[in-house]
């Protein structure tokens, strides 16, 4: 018997996606604070500690507070938002992606009830899905992984939705098959995949190749989801461009414009 609410959904858009969730009477969906785009009249919005999965039942207010406080370690809000259909008919609520990319729907019941994902990938999930932190087993992973020592752990048997940048690739790794990945491009992995961080092994490549000192290795069996454009990479390019141009668009995209800037002393 499923513990999570059985929600239906529909994805809209291509590069700037949103997910519309259909709730039957009494059904609820959980989302990160600020992710909601619109909701129909009759849906009750409630700000809660934790994820509403019931794992902290019996621990009192302090237990709930500590459980929610662990989310702060991942850079997320202390609170989450629960949306519940209080009417007698079906209602809809939608959640939008925070930057260009794709929304990845995942049925945890088909993924052995657990996935590990980068700390800012979670968008929303059916009530009953547990959103917690996952400590990497190896210390090197924490210090040198692009996503830090702590990642998110999603457990349960319901639908959950992740968001990632650019194009999303799903790889199904065989037992013993290893893939080397830029640390920022790793979105999520199933519970059976082993994840580690390795040094590139070449000082010249590390400092002049532009790929950094470390990369992630993921070893099967299991599924791995990768993104082509991590938000941090996109932000770095925007910041670098702004510094070079000084915030001006003079001659942008033009060789003559660039030469003009040099001659003008800009």
Domains, in order of start, for the chain: 8-245 (3.60.160.10)
Q: Taking a C-beta distance cutoff of 8 angstroms, is the pair 134, 116 a contact?
A: yes
Query: Within a 10 A sphere around the Cβ of 151, how many other Cβ atoms?
Result: 23
Q: Which of 57-71, 130-144, 171-185, 233-247 has the lowest mean pLDDT?
A: 57-71
**What are the start-end ranges of the E strands in 136-193?**
150-155, 159-165, 168-173, 178-181, 186-190
Higher pLDDT, 147 or 18: 18
Q: What is the pLDDT of residue 117?
A: 92
CA 201/CA 186 separation, integer angstroms: 20
Range of 7-21, 136-150, 193-207 with top mean pLDDT: 7-21
- In the chain, DSSP assigns E strands to 8-12, 18-23, 28-32, 36-39, 43-49, 79-85, 91-96, 101-107, 114-117, 122-126, 130-135, 150-155, 159-165, 168-173, 178-181, 186-190, 194-199, 214-219, 222-227
CA distance 138 to 119: 17
Q: Quick check: 199 and 171 in contact, CB under 8 A?
A: no
Whole-number average pLDDT of the chain? 79
Predicted confidence (pLDDT) at residue 163 exceeds the cutoff of 70:
yes
107 vs 257, residue with greater confidence: 107
Q: Which of 42, 4, 43, 38 is nearest to 20 (CA)?
A: 38
Average pLDDT over residues 54-75: 56
- Whether the per-residue pLDDT at 212 is higher than 50: the answer is yes
Q: Band the pLDDT of 259: cuts 50, 70, 90.
A: very low
226 pLDDT above the threshold of 90: yes
pLDDT at 246: 61
Considering only residues 91 and 140, tell me which one the structure prediction assigns the higher pLDDT: 91
| pLDDT surpasses 90 at 55 | no
Sign of the alpha-carbon dihedral angle for 255, 257, 258, 260: positive
């Amino acid at each position: 018997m499923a513990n999570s609410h059985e929600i239906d959904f529909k994805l809209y858009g291509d590069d700037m996606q949103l997910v519309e969730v259909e709730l039957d009477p009494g059904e609820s969906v959980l989302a990160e604070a600020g992710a909601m785009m619109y909701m129909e009249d009759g849906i009750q919005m409630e700000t809660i500690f934790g994820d509403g999965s019931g794992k902290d039942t019996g621990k009192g207010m302090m237990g709930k507070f500590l459980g929610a406080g662990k989310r702060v370690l991942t850079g997320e809000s202390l609170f989450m938002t629960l949306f519940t259909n209080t009417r007698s008919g079906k209602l809809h609520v939608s959640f939008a992606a925070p930057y260009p990319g794709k929304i990845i729907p995942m049925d945890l019941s088909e993924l052995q009830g657990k996935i590990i994902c980068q700390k800012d990938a979670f968008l929303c999930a059916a009530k009953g899905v547990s959103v917690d932190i996952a400590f990497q087993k190896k210390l090197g992973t924490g210090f040198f992984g692009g996503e830090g020592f702590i990642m998110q752990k999603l457990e349960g048997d319901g639908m959950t939705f992740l968001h990632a940048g650019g194009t999303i690739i799903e790889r199904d790794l065989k037992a013993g098959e290893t893939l080397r990945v830029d640390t920022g491009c790793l979105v999520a992995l199933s519970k059976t995949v082993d994840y580690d961080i390795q040094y590139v092994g070449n000082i010249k490549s590390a400092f002049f190749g532009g790929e950094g000192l470390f990369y992630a290795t993921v070893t099967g069996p299991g599924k791995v989801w990768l993104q082509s454009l991590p938000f941090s990479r996109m932000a770095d390019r925007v910041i670098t461009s702004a510094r070079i141009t000084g915030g001006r668009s003079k001659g942008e995209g033009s060789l003559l414009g660039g030469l003009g800037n040099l001659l003008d002393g800009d």
